[in-house]
Amino acid sequence: MSFVVPKESFNGKVASVDFGKDDKALTIGGDSALPFLSFEGELPNKPVVAYEIQDCPPDDWPDTVREVYKDVSGDPVTWAKYCQDEQGAKAIALRLVSTHPDRGDKSAEEASQTIKDVLAAISVPLIILGSNHIEKDSTVLVAAAEAASGNNCVIGKAQEGNYKTIVAAALAHNHKLIAMSELDINLAKQLNILITQMGFDKNKLITDPMCSALGYGLEYTYSVMERIRLAGLAQNDPTMQPPILGDVGMYVWKVKETVASEADVPEWGSLEERGIAWETLTATSLILSGANLLIMRHPSAIENVGKTIDELV
């Protein structure tokens, strides 16, 4: 008697979200099955990994990742071009760190000029991220949306405390939007509902439930992302059907295992290899849980995850 592979089918489907322009545009989502289970449904688009850059030198990054960009990280335009031309980046994520009141407090106008300069220098899609200061982002991201008008960028992150102005700006300039909540499926659902009630199309929305690094709550992050994905597929809940973002790099490259020196913990081995492995394993776990878009830092970790995606596909 031949073995019949058990299959599970779902009524729901992950929304397809495109960003970028012309032949460099990318699409994420569109899945009708759980990650990489192509025998159960359609998985038309591979997860996308974006290279993270900043609008100022990454002084708070550990040397093992900062050294990779030491010759280019003094200027966001040079840094973006390096990631695109030398590293083969499919997308760039520009974090406007220097607009934070405690990190330079640059104005929305200065941020707008940076965005225009970066967009003029690259052809791959751009993700524009604020400094995660709720009040400041509400002005900076509004100006950022206008500066990037016509480029079909991803803007974020809209949070409960500032989503109204950011949603309005994304609507006015036809961008995609990241909605961030704090590791709670109910909060993610509530924020998505509030945003779509403003007239924002769920097919232009990306859910960021926040994430955590390996060893620092990754299991909880995994379960939240998986529950979001199952709610969209199995329960056909439209508020849970946007693609999912994993903002990996910012959480990985600050934990003890990626910064503790070899002199302090020689039994842990090479610091550089350890950090790359930490980012690789964290990112790989998240794509298995349902993440469609990742933001990462170290080129070697990005390469590892890209190979894993290709092999699983």
- pLDDT digits 0-9 by tens, 223-236: 999 999 999 999 99
Residues 126-180 pLDDT 10s: 999 999 999 999 999 999 999 999 999 999 999 999 999 999 999 999 999 999 9
Mean of pLDDT values over 16-24: 96
On average, the pLDDT of the chain sits at 97
In a domain, 216, yes or no: yes
In a domain, 5, yes or no: no
Mean of pLDDT values over 87-100: 98
In a domain, 10, yes or no: no
In a domain, 6, yes or no: no
Return the CATH number at 301.
Answer: 3.20.20.20
Determine contact, residues 124/92, Cβ cutoff 8 Å: yes
Tally of domains within the chain: 1
Q: What percentage of residues in the chain have a pLDDT greater than 90?
A: 97
d(CA 247, CA 269): 26
Task: Quote the domain boundaries for residue 133.
Answer: 16-312
In a domain, 7, yes or no: no
In a domain, 42, yes or no: yes
Model confidence at 3, pLDDT cuts 50, 70, 90, reads: confident
In a domain, 228, yes or no: yes
Residue 99 has pLDDT above 90, yes or no: yes
Mean of pLDDT values over 267-295: 97
Residue 1 has pLDDT above 90, yes or no: no
In a domain, 3, yes or no: no
Residue 70 has pLDDT above 90, yes or no: yes
